[in-house]
Amino acid sequence: MNLVTNNKWIGQRTIRPDGMDKVTGRAQFAADTTMPGMIWGKVLRSPHPHARIRGIDTSKAEKLAGVKAVVTSRDIVDFTIEKGAVMLGIQDMRWMCRNVMARDKALFPGHPVAAVAATTEAIAAEACKLIEVDYEVLPWSIEIEDAILPDAPILHEFNRWEGKPSNIMSRIEHKKGDLTEGFASADIVIERTFTTRPVHQGYIEPHACLISVAPDGKTTIWSSSQGQFMVRAMTSMLTGIPQSDIRAIPAEIGGGFGGKTIVYLEPLATMLAKKSGRPVKMVMTREEVMRATGPTSGSRSTVKIGVKKDGTITAAHGTFYLQAGAFPGSPIRGAAGCSFTPYDIPNLLSEGFDVCSNRSKVAAYRAPGAPIGAYAVECVMDEVAGALKMDPLDFRLKNAAKQGTKAAHGPTFPRIGYIETVEAAKSSPHYAAPLGEADKTSGKVRGRGVASGFWFNAGGESSAQVNITEDGNVVVTTGHPDIGGSRAGIANICAELLGIDYRRVSVIIGDTQTIGFSNLTGGSRVLFASSMVVTQSAEKVIQTLRERAAKIWNIDPEAVKWEQGAAHPVSPNAGQFEPLTLKELAEKAPAMGGPIGAGVQLNTQGADGGFGTHICDVEIDTELGIARVIRYTAVQDVGRAIHPGYVEGQLQGGVAQGIGWALNEEYIYTREGKVDNPGFLDYRMPVCSDLPMLDCIMVEVPNPKHPQGVKGVGEVPLVPVMAAVANAIHNALGLRFYSLPMSPPKVSAALDAGVRQAAE
């Protein structure tokens, strides 16, 4: 490890490269793009939760004046079920091809069945109404408890579970030790069942793209996504156009949180553009986003934990049923794999079940599955600590995973920072502060709760190019869309390595044909992976610069060091020369061997998991059942905070989303199986005034396998939140809620019923 100490730029709150454009409205998002001759695409969507498509007649729509092209599933490459899985990352193209356009069956209200391109949006919408779809309406189910009934309507007839047709698509398990023995040796065993509702990622920017297909087949895609290479690959596979002919240009992205790791519009717009010969633009409405793009799973989890009187956990068992929506692929790996990971538990079984039902296909959402599992586990942990009369943080410390602990999902931990997060929480000003008096005259009470969480984090493919401009400045190109401030982090690192002011480093995101393959912006991988390839590229550049200086001075390159933006002789022994700056070397480049620049492409390894521990204070208006978070502290092992401002931004953003999930957000369905709240009025994400300042404590336990010690930070902060809020509400009211959201009508009804905590 060559951890840079005495950093000048690493750890500084520099101005982000994209900041000015964003606050002045100059930034180009996908919906801002336009082209001469551009026409508009619209999607016709199924009104039914479940229906066989017996036929589609598009002739009337095609005859409408202004309509230039119509596509249906016939225009999308079919990945047949019998031929088996065709994986792209974690997505099976058999499901992707059916999700972007329904084939034999429509599986949720909002499922695309056809798409139209016309000269105006209004004509395209009108044409959609002229398409006649012959549906055979089928019975449906949405909730897990309905979908797993023996006589439930089956979404995918080919699927068998225990020999019978079923909506349970798969099971995952992580196992350690002997469960029976473990529970037998426990003094206290607590088992609880929890449910959560589907919640949407809630990015502000709806999905949008503009696509042009030239007569020679060369295709250009401007779109908002978490990965231009994913867009290129999926569009290629779904349209049959080779990747070399598709240039996917990443627009600035207005939030994704995992929801933009798959395509919805691009294959349709590509085929519309190909058929019409015109550039086609498509922009979803908020309602389409809410109905047809992935929220995360609703869930049903049962968690059982056994402890000895001294607080040692002897055994734990978790069963996590997650809604996948229309196609298999719910994040059971995150739920089963992450939920118990902060703890060293000798006997453990953690199982996940992937359940299909008639709602939109899930898409990744920040630490997919982990917050759902942690909610159940961390609430039971709190209840157990209560039964033991132990401080909940001490209980966690007693059982904390550390270096050498074997996690049930496989790895034996290297040096990890979980204990540090619990200790930092314990010694935080927040934990030491009294709760403070609530205004009792209006029936207000306060409470405090804590919870921990873990996320795997990821490495993977990344490419970078570092070029020195002719005037001696730096342009860095990477291949991952910047959602969380990664460009600012890269600028800090590059400035540090080259010893120059960060404002001399320009960081841009390349498109698929100008930078090497780079995997999705997801899994909290981007700064980890891209700073590795940027560091190696910058080191190559520095090597070139030293060689150039050595040549000019006529000494050995080993006798040249790079410091503070210039080449210096390593010592007076090497020779007496005035330093050669980056600017001077750039000017001399043409005569000294040509342009200076280097690129590196790697499948990066060595991403360490991340841990966090949160403290939440709530105040509850007991007359109205309204719970408000009044103080919150997120403690996290962040490895190394390259740009502390954007690390805090990640922590605060995750917490804000978790508070929404805990208190108000939920998909509500009508009796007809349709989403009843497809907009931000009734899908209640928190607004600024709902939240206190969200405090952050960044614990830095550097990752020894990374040149700057970076660990992923973007997903962990959502994992503990719902449990922290639920535990705080329990502390305030003495009431436990076993379902989310803890919305005012629910809290009020529970208070009225005077339900008391079972364990008390």
Partner 1 sequence: MADIRYLAPRTLDEAIGAFAAAGSAARILAGGTDLLVQVRSGIVKPGVIVDIKKISEMTEIAETADGGFRIGAAASGMALAEHPRFGKVWPGVLEAVNLIGSKQVQGRASAGGNLCNGSPAGDSVPAMIAAGAIVTVQGPDGRREMKVEEVPAGPGRTNLKPGEILVSFVLPPRAPGSGDAYLRMIPRTEMDIAVVGLGVSLTLENGVCTAARVGLGAVAPTALLVEAAGAALIGSKLDDAALEKAAEACRSACRPIDDKRGTIAYRVKTAGVLLKRTAAIAAQRATGK
Q: Which residues bind partner 1 (CB under 8 A)?
A: 122-123, 126, 287, 442, 623-626, 628, 663-664, 668, 676-677, 680-682, 684, 686-687, 689-690, 743-745, 748-749, 752
CA distance 359 to 140: 10
Q: Which is nearer to partner 1, 432 or 688 (CB)?
A: 688
691 in Cβ contact with 629 (< 8 Å): yes
Cβ at position 511, least distance to partner 1 in Å: 33
CA distance 394 to 730: 18
Cβ at position 123, least distance to partner 1 in Å: 7
> Nearest Cα to 613, choosing from 419, 405, 333?
419
Cβ at position 136, least distance to partner 1 in Å: 28
Q: Which is nearer to partner 1, 352 or 686 (CB)?
A: 686
Cβ at position 630, least distance to partner 1 in Å: 12
Tell me 106's DSSP state.
E
Cβ at position 152, least distance to partner 1 in Å: 25
Coil vs helix vs strand at 396 = helix
> Nearest Cα to 430, choosing from 616, 210, 644, 262?
616
Cβ at position 285, least distance to partner 1 in Å: 8
CA distance 251 to 18: 12
Tell me the pairing of strands 105-106 and 51-57. antiparallel
Coil vs helix vs strand at 191 = strand
Q: Which is nearer to partner 1, 215 or 745 (CB)?
A: 745
Cβ at position 469, least distance to partner 1 in Å: 42
Cβ at position 681, least distance to partner 1 in Å: 6
Name the token pair of 30.
Answer: 């996908």
Q: Which is nearer to partner 1, 431 or 680 (CB)?
A: 680
Give the count of beta carbons closer than 10 Å to the beta carbon of residue 345. Answer: 24
Tell me 675's DSSP state.
B
Q: Which is nearer to partner 1, 171 or 684 (CB)?
A: 684
Q: What phi and psi values does residue 524 have, to the nearest 5 degrees?
A: 55, 35
Strand order in the sheet with 168-176: 168-176, 347-356, 313-325, 299-307, 188-196
Cβ at position 126, least distance to partner 1 in Å: 6
Q: Which is nearer to partner 1, 591 or 688 (CB)?
A: 688
Q: What is the largest CA-CA distance in the chain?
A: 87
Cβ at position 542, least distance to partner 1 in Å: 50
Q: Which is nearer to partner 1, 161 or 680 (CB)?
A: 680
- Please give the single-letter amino acid code of residue 144: I
> Nearest Cα to 360, choosing from 256, 269, 289, 258?
289
Please spell the DSSP secondary structure of 337-358, one letter per residue. HHTTTTB--SEEEEEEEEEE-S
Please spell the DSSP secondary structure of 683-749, one letter per residue. S-PPPGGGS--EEEEEE----TTSTT-----SSGGGTTHHHHHHHHHHHHHS----BS---HHHHHH
